[in-house]
Amino acid sequence: MHPLDRAAHGLPQRIAIVTDAWMPQMNGVVRTLYTTRDILYAKGHDVLVVSPDQFSSFPCPTYPEIRLALAPPGKVARLLREFAPDAIHIATEGPLGMTARRYCSRHGVPFTTAYHTQFPEYVARRTHLPADWFWRYIRWFHAPAQRVLVATESIRKELRAHGLDRLHHWSRGVDLSCFTPDAPQPAVYDDLPRPIQLYVGRVAVEKNIEAFLSGAYPGSKVVVGDGPALADLKARYPEVHFLGRRTGRELAGCYAGADVFVFPSRTDTFGLVMIEALACGTPVAAYPVAGPLDIVTEEVGALCDDLDRAIAAALFCESRACSNYGSEFSWEAATSQFLSGLSALDSEALPAA
């Protein structure tokens, strides 16, 4: 039986996921991969995650929370060969992803990749170099993949415009047992002037948080998350309420108690936090860019190049419409999409290095 046909018959398969983004990082990529792994486990699949915590590493320049692995090619090859996977998925374009890509390309081993973040724009923001320079790397990195997994139609169109056409849809989901409208709001909300405008995510330059914090819409601004720009933003915006990192029901309560969720990023490929907010009954205000354009409808939020106008419009959305819409995003369905995008290989033919 074809290795990947076993899933259709309810039989387990062995899947290797190579990623430069993993715990203790906490971001949309990590949460997506971590949740996908857990659902695969629950379905009886065997999963190997090759991640930076298994190697010596060093902090990423300008972003020390991210550890970059010093991955000997021989060790990565040995991990893959000993696991004997039915499919290899390379999730990120960092050092580990590069090492796995080199191994697979050199030996003709089929693999898939994913485009999780707007890598060229992120790096351009941090280096002040043209994003086109980094698109060359993206094209080169993903070109040999059997399929590139993408979350939205907007990103699919963008990748096609850059010469990548073997694309496969892989959406995202929400933990609907956690993110609900009845999650108890944090005590700090009790005395805040309404409307409460919430941002959740990494506190970093590429998230464009300053566009939200510098807005003039009345009420209270709340930021949940951590990151390299936190200290600077705290000093510059003392009127903003920075709650730090929250998870689980605490995070759900931050969403549910807010009046509007503000997503100022212009560079995300999806925006997992948006569907979490919606599942909690909170409308979304964002820019009309990839990610929000693929998710936010008129019933559950507003998109505008003027973020204050988007906030004002989103406040008219009904909470029930938001929660009903958010509940449509299932991790089970997303994981099935992931499985269907994988490409089978002959694990017995994996070379040593």
Q: What is the CATH number of the domain that holds 135?
A: 3.40.50.2000
Summarize pLDDT for 294-319 with one digit per residue, the tens: 999 999 999 999 999 999 999 999 99
Domain count, the chain: 2
Quick check: bond before 24 cis, omega within 30? yes
- State the average pLDDT over residues 37-43: 96
Distance of alpha carbon 279 from alpha carbon 173, whole angstroms:
10
In a domain, 7, yes or no: yes
Range of the domain at 228: 187-329
Amino acid 11 reads L
In the prediction, which pLDDT does 23 show? 87
Distance of CA 255 to the CA centre of its chain: 18
pTM over 0.85: yes
Residue 194 gets which letter from DSSP?
S
The pLDDT, as a whole number, for residue 78 is 94
How many Cβ atoms sit within 10 Å of the Cβ of residue 353? 13
Q: Is residue 181 part of a domain?
A: no
Q: b/e per residue, 156-166, with b = 16+ CB within 10 A?
A: bebbeeeebee
The pLDDT of residue 353 is 66
Q: What's the pLDDT score for residue 92?
A: 94
Give the model's confidence band at 24: pLDDT under 50 very low, under 70 low, under 90 confident, else very high: confident
Q: Are residues 126 and 143 in the same domain?
A: yes
Q: Show the DSSP H helices in the chain as ranges.
A: 28-42, 73-83, 95-107, 119-127, 131-142, 153-161, 209-213, 230-236, 248-257, 272-279, 292-295, 307-314, 319-326, 331-341
Residue 179, in any domain of the structure: no
Distance, CA of 1 to CA of 103 (rounded, Å): 26
| Same domain assignment for residues 162 and 240 | no
Q: Based on the domain organization, do 32 and 163 belong to the same domain?
A: yes
> Given this model, what pLDDT does residue 119 score?
67
Does residue 233 sit in helix, strand or coil?
helix
* 47 and 91 assigned to the same domain: yes
Residue 219 and residue 80 share a domain:
no
The whole-number pLDDT of residue 63 equals 65
- Residue 273 falls inside a structural domain: yes
The answer to the question of residue 207 being in a domain is: yes
More confident residue, 285 or 58: 285
Distance (Å, whole) CA 96 – CA 285: 36
8 Å CB contact between 142 and 288: no
What's the mean per-residue pLDDT of the chain? 91
More confident residue, 292 or 123: 292
Considering the domain architecture, whether residues 197 and 311 belong to the same structural domain is answered as yes
**Same domain? 128 vs 64:** yes
**Same domain? 301 vs 337:** no
Q: Answer yes or no: is pLDDT of 62 > 70.
A: no
Asked if 208 and 162 sit in the same domain, the reply is no
Quickly tell me which residue has 């998230």 as its tokens.
Answer: 207
**Are both 294 and 344 inside the same structural domain?**
no
Of 239, 303, 294, 245, give the one whose Cα is nearest residue 269.
294
Distance CA(272)–CA(291), nearest Å, equals 9
Let me know if residue 119 belongs to a domain.
yes
Backbone angles phi, psi at 297, to 5 degrees: -105, 170
85 and 8 belong to one structural domain: yes
Would you state the pLDDT for residue 4? 57
pLDDT tens digits along 235-260:
999 999 999 999 999 999 999 999 99
Specify if 342 maps to a domain: yes
Q: Are residues 324 and 337 in the same domain?
A: no
Residue 120 has pLDDT above 80, yes or no: no
Residue 101 lies in a domain: yes
CA torsion through residues 194, 200, 202, 208, sign:
negative
Contacts of 79 (CB under 8 A, 6+ apart): 16, 48, 50, 54
pLDDT score at 2: 52
Tokens describing residue 48: 């190997």
